[in-house]
Structure 1
Amino acid sequence: MTSSHIRPRLVELTSPRDVTGVSVRTSNAREGDPATAALPALWGRFMAAGGLPTTVFSVYTDYESDVHGAYTVVLGREAGPSTSGERTVRVVPGRYAVFTSTGDMPAAVIAGWQAVWAYFAEPDAPARAYTTDFEQYEPEDPSTVHIHVAVRAEASRERPVRA
């Protein structure tokens, strides 16, 4: 399945979720160049500190502007006590378009984000909110990523599923 054929389902996140973990400030332009990409090193730090014993979240927040601007990524677990160097971020309630991508990692994540960008480039797509987006990884299914992209409530026509 090519990334452009991954279609989202719309869900309503009814309560906030706090995620604590390691973080980095980056941009899509930076991540597009292996010489400057920050996310592989972030994953390396996270895995060295204990890896995937539970559900893992990679939260995208503090958007400078849109897909072209800088953002912060917090890679971790649902909030617990933070340790030195960790940050806690709140995933805001609201509507999310959820894209599911399966395969070898990180290729499945890359394919999933390519599907996100293709979907939101369509003229009838809802508008992204650029509040908090997140990837969700389950330890029992390590070859699947669920990418949740916040959409503006007034711009989404479909009725969401409550999550």
Structure 2
Amino acid sequence: MNTNIGSQKKRRIESRPAMSVWGAGARTTNEAEAGANGVIPRLWEHYFRSGIKEVAGSDQAVYAVYTDYESDASGAYTLVIGHETEGIFGDGQGSEEVEHVRRAEGQSIESIENVERVKDVESVGRMNRAGSADVAKREEDGAIVERSVFIPESRYLVFPAKPGLFQETVPQAWQEIWSYFQNAEEVRAYSGDFECYRFQAADPAHPVVEIYIAIK
């Protein structure tokens, strides 16, 4: 087994039930995120400034879900930053996109703050039935979409990020993860991975972060 990851002693395998996460999503690639035009920083800004976090409550964990993988770590994927929800996002057969869309390019944070959010179950149901293909196309075109995503029941290899500013420690953890899986016994499933952030009111810049990688 690969032993070149610094957090090996804390790494563990964990099984988790299915869940739905509601938040802000966009389509991207690791190659794009390595350059100046990455969408992830804007996605975090949207999540915190649009009020989605306030709907969840300060005590809820924040999830950054990697889903709809085109192929593997080298292909496109959808990232949804949000919080766990129950009971209002359809039948659990896939991703349901239920919110308004704002094109990210050329749009100020002030305008992003004014995105209207669905607040009642009836509206969510109507928008669920609108279908995911159109929203997926808008994501491909560079839009930030407020939506839900379904994560199936899975086994995960869990990697704790090191303490520190998460903007620095999470990318470092991903570098270790990619290196680990080059020679690992475990095989990635690409059925849905996520980062789990537990923010502390006394020190919000230093949340406890664990990264869950789905395995076969």
TM-score interval, normalised by the smaller of the two chains: 0.7 to 0.9
| TM-fit CA distance, 1:71 | 0.1
Correspondence for 2:180: 119
Contact 2:25–2:146, Cα closer than 8 Å, also in 1:
yes
Q: Any residues of structure 2 matched to 1:34-73 within 5 Å, and which?
A: 35-50=36-51, 51=53, 53=58, 54-73=60-79
| TM-fit CA distance, 1:4 | 3.1
Moved more, 73-82 or 88-97: 73-82
How far apart in 2 are the matches of 1:125 and 1:115? Answer: 15
Name the structure with the higher strand share.
Answer: 1
Name the structure with the higher helix share.
Answer: 2
Identity of aligned residues (%): 36
Correspondence for 1:159: none
Other structure's SS at 1:150 match: strand
Where does structure 1 differ by over 3 angstroms across 4 or more consecutive aligned residues? none
Contact 2:13–2:158, Cα closer than 8 Å, also in 1:
yes
How far apart in 1 are the matches of 2:30 and 2:7? Answer: 20
Contact 1:108–1:143, Cα closer than 8 Å, also in 2:
no
| TM-fit CA distance, 1:118 | 1.2
Correspondence for 1:79: 85
When normalised by structure 1's length, the TM-score is: 0.83
1:9 aligns with 2:12: yes
When normalised by structure 2's length, the TM-score is: 0.63
Q: Any residues of structure 2 matched to 1:140-151 within 5 Å, and which?
A: 140=200, 142-151=206-215
**Structure 2: which amino acid aligns with 1:55?**
A
Structure 1 residue corresponding to 2:158, chosen from 78, 83, 98: 98
Moved more, 64-73 or 94-103: 94-103
| TM-fit CA distance, 1:98 | 0.4
| TM-fit CA distance, 1:149 | 0.3
Correspondence for 2:129: none
Other structure's SS at 1:46 match: helix
- Alpha-carbon RMSD across the aligned residues, in angstroms, is 1.9
Structure 2 stretches lacking a partner, 5+ long: 89-97, 99-116, 119-144
In our comparison, the structure showing a higher alpha carbon Rg is 2
- Count of residue pairs brought into register by the alignment: 147
